[in-house]
């Protein structure tokens, strides 16, 4: 794949994003204000973190449907460790993060050790992790977190929401890893031709295990920010989040068949979706109407991608 | 020629056990559950409870029939729960708007067939994985439903609309439907060319093409059939209670997929039966009910579901590895 | 000779189940089959022979309706026909037993035999009773009464699956049965069984196109034999008019010495040694030594364990028994990266699947096996990668626009040079080349041969696997012959003749004999 081809998709996407912004700004004068934009960034952070890891997952030709459930499970564990077990909150945070990361590792283990298709493996753990969250919490929410904890989800650093800094730094790190390191090269190689990657001495299973573990970690990190932002813990947190993440990644030009995609594309896809959601909401479309738009955008984006692939003749 | 003579060295019983292993395991689990839970808590065996287990979950078993066909053909559909919610809402809306009852029953079913045939065509001709298409469809249906109804419940449904609550010969009609459709679908899968081509396409698409089967048409047909079963399931779901909640029943698609997989349908396609999926749907209903009677919180139900899918899939993978 | 043959076939009348006249077929401008005529008589076994790339499989696919010929005619019962799909060929009574068996693993034996043409009841539903009964009869008539028709095919051996495919062809009333290397993957007792089935079919009037390399089978079964070479028809002869050396020279057909570069320098120390290495039952008890500067040829039929041996050395399927020594020291190789770090490189036989990432560029492919070396800090050093790729392009004469050209846009020969470039960049000391020139044109072939010689001259130890006998004989300093997962013969340069190697390669060993 030549650089020109990569950037063509991303250029189109960037232009689309700009057009969407202009249209939305003209529809509502509330859209293009610093407050609104920063607030949208705040809302974007959780899906954003998950989408970064999801980009790696999809570039290897896999998928992770369990991220929303890992988020829910981590949120619940955070509350339970703190309130019911009585750990200090920082320890509870650390432990919950470790558990979420472990959940991601379990996905990777099932996929690499037993050759279960990622789709099926993570569909099963989607149910399992959400079920654990429900079982552990018994639908009771945890509230009453100390004031300092809200910093992660509501605080600002230099006038910019804290989680936007986290997202920005994570995006930079992910872009560097995928684009510039041997690990990134291995990720692309596995997605494009797993057998040839293995025959070239790439540690295929180890790479995949790292990626699914990272996916768990990102979902867990998103969980802490989520809990801090909404000040409460519930077991249904993050339901359907996998769809948002996959949509952003695919819209960003990552091939659902693996081997192609960039972090910049994912970031643009994220911004476009968030802008659409926000813009539609501001122009009076109810919250659930925007889900329809996301579904349509997802199918449309893949359809266009598939047609392009066919025209290029594989 | 007797059947036994056709298969040297193997008895009928032997053959039956090896061909329906998973189904037998599920059936035995149901019996064991009734015996054990019934011994702990007599009320588990009460008419009301057994009635609610079977009649209350028949629609899941019916939807699982269609889902099994889709999975046998090598695909999957995660939007079926949303589709059932939409069907129920359309049916309820038509019923309270004064349309004839048969219109309120039939139109949503036709809608479901059309939607799924469209999904099937996308999957068959663009080669986009069915998981992605149906994920998109899930959000379209779900979002469309909530924004169209604003979550308002539909009540004052006409009594003659409530087909699930009718009891011909003293048995709830939902149970009649479940039994009849399971038998019809089993016969269809076993005794028609189309039925067998579903297995062929799911087992080895290129070999199917070489044998003169059109895989694209088969995939579209399977999704359309799945729409039919989802449609019927949706009508039963709609007429179960006195109100229709106009929401997507949570986790419904997962329960349906799990029923298919645990009933012996291999997630990699090419094998499975709908008798197994119906039995598995009943097994879940039993487990859900048993948790309550054993004083275990029902909140653990989904974790149990997840574990069961995982265990079944791992067993399937291990079995396949051993075979080859 | 060719015109003579056409006249012959035409004279023999209109009743031929299939006849090909002057068939040509090109791919990407290369004529793979060039003006070949071929015919089948009812109740004969007609062996089709030739080296890899001689055009056999293309000719078979033309008969099976998978390819349409560019020129020439197909006649069935004397009438010209056109096959636009395999379905047309089936309808004309032509069936194929595929090398990669096209069966449905999760369906029963009976269903696999009848799928697509199931018997029906008067209601139009599938008549399982009749289907099972007819399957039983068909299999009984193939002396396969022991096969359980209700068993899933997934659990069956290759030999049994093949019998099912044959039964499937008979269920379609096939008059011509094409068998492509039917014994390649069979165990010895299955080979005997297959041969008796073939005789049985011949008695029933079925014409059998029998593609095989194994001489004993050809002489035991065939009535006539047709030899192809480089896409041309060499001859069609009754089996009584040919002998084994004659057939081999018809297939090889050229003087071997002239084409291959001569050895430079002398062999050095032993660098790689295998002692009694096994992997499950596919690699059995392999022992040999490989010296610096030596090209060691590994000959054998497809499925004889050559590639499997290479995969074991390279750590894809690690040895389950025995010991591998490098420089006299025992090593444990459990993964390709481990093998690479020990200085072993493997150029695999399946270039598209195993050798290259075709949607990626030349430089990305070359970097893949060398990421550790091409990294500065934690980053891949783009300048070093590009330099490495440019280096490979000039060193091996890869014809490409530049390092960022996509590999799939290159020709077969240039793709193979990219694979070589990737592996030589790892500075290996042991180079395993599996079918180094498969599917590439003559010019590129010669370049790769020159290169191999040059590398050996510089002290590289090369283990070469090839199905082309002339290549094995021409390139190797020493030849090992594999058969049934074992090494069954060793020849030095002077004693490695086509006849000698070919005989050991194609002999059917009984298990006792080989042990």
> How many helices, marked H, and strands, marked E, lie in chain C?
18, 22
For A259, the closest of C337, C340, C359 (CB atoms) is C359
The DSSP symbol for C240 reads: G
Model confidence over C211-264: pLDDT tens digits?
887 777 888 889 999 998 888 888 898 988 888 777 877 877 654 445 678 777
Judge residue C1's burial from the number of C-beta atoms within 10 Å of its C-beta, 0-12 exposed, 13-18 middle, 19 or more buried: exposed
Q: Identify the H or E element spanning C420.
A: helix C412-424
Cβ within 8 Å, pair B317-A126: no
Neighbour order of strands in the sheet with C94-97:
C94-97, C176-180, C207-211, C45-49, C224-229, C232-238
Question: Is the pLDDT confidence value at C68 over 50?
Answer: yes
Share of chain C above pLDDT 90, in %: 27
- Using CA atoms, how far apart are residues C367 and C362, in angstroms rounded to an integer? 9
**Low-confidence winner among A16-30, A160-174, C54-68, C181-195 (lowest mean pLDDT):** C181-195
Among chain C residues, CA nearest to A4: C404
Which residues does A288 contact at the CB level (< 8 Å), separation at least 6?
Answer: B142, B143, B145, B146, B147
- ipTM surpasses cut 0.95: no
Tokens representing A234? Answer: 């519930």
Per the model's pLDDT, the better-predicted residue between C160 and C273 turns out to be C273
Largest CA distance in chain C: 80
Share of chain C above pLDDT 70, in %: 91
- Partners of C364 on chain A (C-beta within 8 Å) are 185, 188-189
Per-residue pLDDT of chain B (324 residues; tens, 9 = 90+): 344 344 444 555 665 655 667 778 788 888 888 888 888 888 888 878 888 888 888 898 999 999 999 999 989 898 898 899 889 888 888 888 888 888 888 889 999 999 999 999 988 888 788 888 888 888 888 888 877 777 777 777 777 777 777 777 877 888 888 889 999 998 888 888 888 888 888 888 878 877 778 888 999 999 999 999 999 999 888 888 777 777 777 778 888 888 888 887 777 777 788 888 888 888 888 888 888 777 777 788 888 878 888 887 888 787 767 655
Least Cα separation, residue B6 to chain C (angstroms): 7
Cβ-based neighbour number of residue C27 at 10 Å: 11
Ramachandran angles phi, psi of C276, nearest 5°: 50, 45
Residues linked to residue C74 through DSSP beta bridges, in sequence order: C20, C81
Closest of B174, B197, B198 to residue B67, by C-alpha: B198
- Using CA atoms, how far apart are residues B203 and B197, in angstroms rounded to an integer? 9
pLDDT range class, residue C29, cuts 50, 70, 90: low
pLDDT of residue B316: 75
CA angle C510, C514, C515 (to 5 degrees): 115
pLDDT range class, residue C5, cuts 50, 70, 90: very low
Cα A91–chain centre separation: 25
Residues linked to residue C96 through DSSP beta bridges, in sequence order: C178
For B144, the closest of A120, A240, A292 (CB atoms) is A292
For chain C, say whether A188 makes contact (Cβ under 8 Å). Answer: yes
- Using CA atoms, how far apart are residues A34 and B142, in angstroms rounded to an integer? 32
For chain B, say whether A103 makes contact (Cβ under 8 Å). Answer: no
- Partners of A193 on chain C (C-beta within 8 Å) are 353, 356-359
Question: Is the pLDDT confidence value at C11 over 80?
Answer: no
For C355, the closest of A189, A196, A201 (CB atoms) is A196
Q: What is the mean pLDDT of residues C396-409?
A: 87
The DSSP symbol for C73 reads: E
Strands C461-465 and C329-331, bridge-based pairing: unpaired
For B317, the closest of A114, A125, A235 (CB atoms) is A114
For chain B, say whether A296 makes contact (Cβ under 8 Å). Answer: yes
Strands C270-279 and C430-434, bridge-based pairing: unpaired
Closest of B89, B98, B96, B113 to residue B221, by C-alpha: B113
Q: Per residue, what are the HEC states of chain A? A: CCHHHHHHHHHHHHHHHHHHHHHHHHHCCCCCCHHHHHHHHHHHHHHHHHHHHHHHHHHCCCCCCCHHHHHHHHHHHHHHHHHHCCCCHHHHHHHHHHHHHHHHHHHHHHHHHCCCCHHHHHHHHHHHHHHHHHHHHCCCCECCCCHHHHHHHHCEECCEEHHHHHHHHHHHHHHHHHHHCHHHHHHHHHHHCHHHHHHCCCCHHHHHHHHHHHHHHHHHHHHHHHHHHHCCECCCCCCCHHHHHHHHHHHCCCCCCCCCCCHHHHHHHHHHHHHHHHHHHHCCCCHHHHHHHHHHHHHHHHHHHHHHHHHHCC
Judge residue B193's burial from the number of C-beta atoms within 10 Å of its C-beta, 0-12 exposed, 13-18 middle, 19 or more buried: middle
Among chain A residues, CA nearest to B266: A120
Cα A237–chain centre separation: 14
Strands C329-331 and C344-347, bridge-based pairing: unpaired
CA–CA distances in Å: residue A84 to residues A62, A137, A140, A211: 37, 10, 12, 32
For chain C, say whether B7 makes contact (Cβ under 8 Å). Answer: yes
**Low-confidence winner among C99-103, C158-162, C276-280, C474-478 (lowest mean pLDDT):** C99-103
Is the sign of the CA dihedral B240, B243, B244, B249 positive or negative? negative
Closest of A217, A221, A192 to residue A204, by C-alpha: A192
Virtual CA dihedral for B210, B212, B217, B223, nearest 10 degrees? Answer: -80
The DSSP symbol for C353 reads: I
For chain B, say whether A290 makes contact (Cβ under 8 Å). Answer: yes
Cβ-based neighbour number of residue B109 at 10 Å: 21
Residue A232 backbone class (left: φ over 0; alpha: ψ -120 to 50; beta: rest)? beta
Per the model's pLDDT, the better-predicted residue between A224 and C445 turns out to be A224
Least Cα separation, residue B211 to chain C (angstroms): 5
Question: Which residue carries 């497809």 as its tokens?
Answer: C302
Cβ within 8 Å, pair A124-B306: yes
Strand (E) positions, C155-282? 176-180, 207-211, 224-229, 232-238, 270-279
Cβ-based neighbour number of residue C459 at 10 Å: 16
Start-to-end CA distance of chain A, whole Å, equals 12
CA angle A27, A31, A34 (to 5 degrees): 155
Question: Which residue carries 């009508």 as its tokens?
Answer: B235
pLDDT of residue B7: 44
Q: Per residue, what are the HEC states of chain B? A: CCHHHHCCCCCHHHHHHHHCHHHHHHHHHHHHHHHHHHHHCHHHHCHHHHHHHHHHHHHHHHHHHHHHHHHHCCCCCCCHHHHHHHHHHHHHHHHHCCCCHHHHHHHHHHHHHHHHHHHHHHHHHHCCCHHHHHHHHHHHHHHHHHHHHCCCCECCCCHHHCHHHCCHHHCCHHHHHHHHHHHHHHHHHHHCHHHHHHHHHHHCHHHHHHCCCCHHHHHHHHHHHHHHHHHHHHHHHHCCCCCECCCCCCCHHHHHHHHHHHCCCCCCCCCCCHHHHHHHHHHHHHHHHHHHHCCCCHHHHHHHHHHHHHHHHHHHHHHHHHHC
User: Has this prediction a pTM greater than 0.90?
Assistant: no
Residues in chain A with pLDDT values less than 70:
1-8, 286-287, 305-314
pLDDT of residue C99: 65
- Using CA atoms, how far apart are residues B65 and B185, in angstroms rounded to an integer? 7
- Partners of B249 on chain A (C-beta within 8 Å) are none
- Using CA atoms, how far apart are residues B139 and B134, in angstroms rounded to an integer? 9
Least Cα separation, residue B267 to chain A (angstroms): 8
Cβ within 8 Å, pair B299-A139: yes
| 3-state SS, residue C122 | coil
The answer to whether C266 and C258 have CB atoms below 8 angstroms apart is: no
pLDDT of residue B269: 73
CA–CA distances in Å: residue C8 to residues A14, A184, B141, C2, C76: 71, 64, 70, 10, 16
- Using CA atoms, how far apart are residues C258 and C49, in angstroms rounded to an integer? 24
């Amino acid at each position: 794949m030549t650089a020109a081809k990569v950037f063509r998709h991303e250029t189109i996407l960037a232009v689309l994003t700009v057009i969407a912004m202009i249209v939305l700004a003209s529809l509502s004068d509330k859209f293009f204000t610093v407050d609104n934009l920063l607030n949208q960034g705040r809302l974007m952070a959780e899906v954003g973190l998950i989408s970064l890891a999801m980009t790696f997952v999809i570039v290897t030709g896999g998928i992770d449907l369990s991220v929303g459930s890992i988020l829910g499970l981590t949120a619940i564990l955070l509350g339970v460790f703190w309130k019911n077990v009585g750990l200090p909150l920082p320890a509870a945070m650390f432990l919950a993060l470790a558990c979420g990361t472990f959940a991601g590792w379990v996905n990777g283990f099932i996929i690499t050790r037993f050759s279960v298709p990622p789709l099926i493996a993570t569909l099963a753990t989607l149910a399992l992790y959400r079920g654990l969250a429900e079982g552990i919490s018994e639908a009771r929410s945890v509230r009453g977190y100390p004031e300092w904890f809200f910093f992660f989800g509501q605080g600002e650093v230099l006038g910019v929401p804290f989680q936007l800094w986290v997202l920005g730094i994570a995006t930079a790190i992910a872009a560097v890893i995928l684009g510039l390191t041997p690990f990134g090269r291995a990720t692309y190689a596995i997605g494009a031709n797993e057998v040839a990657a293995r025959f070239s001495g790439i540690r295929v299973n180890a790479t995949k295990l790292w990626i699914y573990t990272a996916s768990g970690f990102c979902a867990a990190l998103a969980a802490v920010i989520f809990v801090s932002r909404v000040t409460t813990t519930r077991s249904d947190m993050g339901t359907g989040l996998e769809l948002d993440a996959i949509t952003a990644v695919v819209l960003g030009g990552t091939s659902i068949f693996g081997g192609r995609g960039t972090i910049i594309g994912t970031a643009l896809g994220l911004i476009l979706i968030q802008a659409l959601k926000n813009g539609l909401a501001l122009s009076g479309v109810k919250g659930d109407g925007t889900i329809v738009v996301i579904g349509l955008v997802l199918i449309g984006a893949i359809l266009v991608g598939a047609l392009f692939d066919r025209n290029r003749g594989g | 020629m007797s059947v036994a003579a056709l298969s040297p060295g193997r008895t009928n019983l032997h053959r039956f056990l090896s061909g329906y292993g998973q189904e037998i395991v599920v059936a035995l689990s149901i019996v064991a559950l009734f015996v054990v839970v019934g011994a702990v808590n007599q009320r588990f065996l009460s008419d009301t409870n057994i009635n609610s287990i079977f009649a209350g979950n028949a629609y899941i078993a019916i939807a699982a029939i269609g889902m099994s066909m889709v999975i046998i053909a090598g695909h999957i559909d995660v939007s079926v729960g949303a589709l059932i919610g939409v069907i129920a809402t359309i049916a309820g809306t038509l019923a309270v708007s004064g349309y004839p009852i048969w219109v309120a029953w039939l139109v949503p079913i036709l809608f479901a067939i059309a939607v799924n045939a469209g999904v099937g065509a996308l999957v068959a001709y663009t080669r986009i994985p069915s998981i992605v298409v149906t994920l998109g469809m899930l959000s379209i249906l779900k979002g469309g439903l909530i924004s169209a109804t604003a979550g308002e419940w539909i009540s004052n449904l006409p009594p003659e609309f409530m087909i699930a609550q009718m009891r011909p010969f003293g048995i709830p009609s939902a149970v009649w439907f479940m039994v009849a459709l399971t038998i019809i679908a089993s016969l269809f899968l076993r005794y028609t060319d189309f039925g067998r081509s579903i297995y062929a396409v799911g087992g080895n698409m290129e070999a199917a093409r070489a044998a003169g089967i059109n895989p694209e048409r088969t995939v579209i047909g399977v999704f359309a059939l799945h729409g039919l079963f989802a449609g019927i399931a949706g009508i039963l779901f709609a007429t179960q209670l006195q109100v229709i909640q106009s929401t997507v029943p949570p986790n419904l698609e997962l329960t349906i997929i799990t029923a298919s997989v645990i009933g012996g349908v291999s997630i990699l396609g090419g094998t499975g039966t709908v008798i197994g999926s119906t039995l598995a749907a009943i097994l879940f209903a039993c487990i859900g009910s048993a948790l309550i009677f054993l004083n275990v919180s029902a909140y653990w139900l989904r974790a149990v579901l997840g574990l069961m899918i995982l265990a079944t899939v791992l067993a399937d993978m291990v079995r396949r590895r051993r075979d080859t | 000779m060719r015109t003579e043959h056409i006249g012959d076939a035409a004279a023999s009348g209109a009743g031929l189940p299939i006849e090909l006249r002057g068939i040509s077929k090109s791919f990407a401008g290369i004529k793979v089959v060039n003006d070949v005529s071929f015919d089948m008589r009812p109740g004969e076994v007609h062996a089709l022979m030739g080296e890899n790339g001689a055009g056999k499989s293309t000719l078979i696919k033309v008969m099976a309706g998978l390819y349409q010929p560019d020129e020439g005619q197909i006649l069935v019962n004397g009438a010209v026909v056109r096959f636009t799909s395999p379905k047309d060929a089936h309808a004309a009574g032509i069936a194929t037993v595929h090398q990669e068996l096209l069966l449905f693993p999760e369906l029963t034996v009976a269903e696999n035999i009848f799928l697509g043409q199931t018997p029906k009841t008067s209601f139009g539903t599938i008549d399982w009773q009749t289907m099972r009964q007819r399957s039983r009869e068909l299999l009984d008539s193939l002396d396969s009464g022991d096969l359980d028709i209700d068993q899933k095919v997934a659990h069956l051996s290759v030999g049994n699956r093949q019998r099912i495919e044959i039964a499937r062809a008979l269920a379609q009333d096939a008059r011509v049965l094409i068998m492509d290397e039917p014994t390649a993957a069979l165990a010895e007792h299955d080979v005997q069984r297959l041969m008796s089935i073939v005789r049985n079919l011949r008695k029933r009037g079925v014409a059998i196109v029998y593609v095989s390399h194994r001489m004993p089978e050809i002489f035991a079964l065939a009535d006539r034999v047709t030899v192809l070479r480089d896409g041309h028809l060499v001859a069609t002869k009754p089996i009584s008019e040919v002998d084994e050396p004659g057939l081999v020279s018809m297939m090889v057909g050229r003087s071997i010495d002239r084409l291959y570069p001569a050895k430079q320098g002398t062999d050095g120390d032993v660098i790689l040694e295998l002692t009694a290495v096994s992997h499950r039952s596919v690699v059995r008890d392999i022992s040999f030594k490989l010296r610096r500067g030596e090209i060691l040829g590994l000959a054998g039929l497809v499925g004889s364990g050559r590639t499997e041996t290479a995969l074991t050395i390279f750590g894809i399927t690690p040895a389950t028994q025995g010991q591998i020594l490098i420089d006299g020291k025992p090593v444990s190789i459990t993964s390709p990266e481990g093998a690479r770090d020990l200085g072993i490189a493997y150029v695999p036989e399946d270039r598209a699947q195993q050798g290259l990432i075709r949607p990626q560029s030349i430089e990305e492919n070359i970097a893949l096996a060398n990421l550790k070396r091409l990294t500065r800090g934690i980053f891949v050093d783009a300048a070093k990668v590009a330099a490495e790729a440019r280096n490979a392009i000039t060193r091996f004469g890869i014809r490409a626009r530049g390092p960022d050209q996509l590999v799939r846009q290159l020709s077969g020969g240039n793709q193979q040079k990219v694979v070589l470039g990737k592996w030589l960049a790892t500075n290996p000391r042991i180079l395993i080349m599996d079918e180094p020139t498969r599917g590439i044109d003559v010019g590129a072939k010669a370049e790769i041969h020159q290169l191999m010689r040059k590398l050996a001259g510089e002290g590289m130890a090369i283990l070469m696997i090839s199905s082309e006998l002339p290549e094995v004989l021409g390139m190797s300093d020493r030849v090992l012959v594999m058969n049934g997962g074992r090494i069954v013969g060793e020849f030095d340069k002077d004693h490695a003749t086509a006849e000698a190697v070919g005989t050991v390669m194609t002999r059917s060993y009984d298990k006792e004999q080989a042990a």
